[in-house]
Homo-oligomer: A and B are copies of this chain.
Amino acid sequence: MALIVQKYGGTSVGSVERIQAVAQRVKRTREQGHEVVVVVSAMSGETDRLIGLARAIQPQPVPRELDVLIATGEQVTIALLAMALEAIGCPARSYTGSQVQIRTDSAHNKARIRDIDGARVGSDLEAGRVVVVAGFQGIDRAGNITTLGRGGSDTSAVAMAAALKADECQIYTDVDGVYTTDPRIEPRARKLDRITFEEMLEMASLGSKVLQIRAVEFAGKYRVPLRVLSSFRQGEGTLISFEEENVEDAKIAGIAFAKDEAKLTVLGVPDQPGIAYKILGPISEANVEVDMIVQNVGSDSATTDFTFTVHRNDYDTALGVLRDMAEQLSAREVSGDQKIVKLSLVGVGMRSHAGIASQMFEALAREGINIRMISTSEIKISVVIDEKYLELGVRALHESFGLAGKTIL
């Protein structure tokens, strides 16, 4: 007998019928002899409906009251799911974030979980009940209702699993697992049976939005085995694990990409200590988040060229900031490009395997794809290329590293 935390998102509980289907799935897990804690989101569309009501009253709703409002979304779902379970003979009890004591800081609308009093649900589990918990919400020290921000239900589930020392945390979504890359780009993309936490973090932050990145970090920190599955299809999904078994075979887990990137370059600034801070300080003050950063020696050795990428939405802001300070920086020129994408190879195996980078560059060169920027970490290599080469680049790498072929992981 295992203790399993299952999390169902808004689409999975989007209607009465879907809630009933979730109840059936939970019941099957119970019948396999497991104890089950279910964490649910608001029914899809409900949070947006509530925010619409709030905005009709106050264009910028008071954060504390917005949390009181939108926390009702999950509360509706927990009650309906508990009823659906009882209706099919599966004893259940629902708990709000406040009732189960999901304690957070006081940052309304984007609170972070501090701890959970797992003991509260212990007696229900002992009595053979399924415990249904509202995701996405908590309570601060003063008793105010808080929410974790969009997608926070994944984090709630992982935190519950950590607090209860659950054997597995299962995240049910509308995809059936983590793929080697986006199947819409490369139809031969293959579902991975296993992926490591580090790889998953890189895959998630690079645009494979299967899981909230906070949830993955949380699971890694508290060593909660995490599994991504489909609520609509059967299957084992993808297990996100700690052990790097078979690491000799697992060179590359997959190919992630980020579409909406833009690149900015400051050319010919004096190559002095502190120049990076002088450029990026004002960018950060303008609330622009910077992703890749590359600095190169310029055409003469006294100056340097400084390039970084931002989200495309922030391009105009960032360009304005750079132009305003170009003179002050004694920069020769400020330029930019909005039509770029980032493409990343991810895999813990590359740590112990030389030649991954050169194989990557070769595969891209063979297709005539020019690399505009390169950045590397322990387990990933990212390149910036022209937007028009996205699909071609993904497929070339997928092919080159044999991801569609035999099972690697």
Which A residues are within 8 Å of any B CB, using their own CB?
16, 19-20, 50, 53-54, 56-58, 61-62, 64-66, 68-69, 71-72, 75-76, 78-80, 82-84, 86-87, 93-94, 96, 98-99, 143-145
Contacts and interface: CB of A to CB of B under 8 A. Distances in A.
Given A16-B53, A57-B16, A96 B68 contact: yes
Contact of A62 (B50, B72, B86, B144): B86
B78 A68 contact: yes
Contact of A65 (B16, B69, B94): B94
**For the complex formed by this chain, how many copies does it contain in all?**
2
B75 A20 contact: no
A54 B80 contact: yes
A399 to B, nearest CB: 49
A104 to B, nearest CB: 15
A83 B71 contact: no
A58 B79 contact: no
B58 A83 contact: yes
A76 B46 CA distance: 12
Tell which of A61, A79, A82, A145 has the most Cβ of chain B within 10 Å: A79
Contact of A66 (B20, B61, B79): B79
7 contacts: A54-B80, A62-B83, A68-B75, A68-B96, A69-B83, A98-B98, A99-B144
A65 B50 contact: no
Contacts of A69: 75-76, 79-80, 83
A65 B78 CA distance: 8
A17 to B, nearest CB: 9
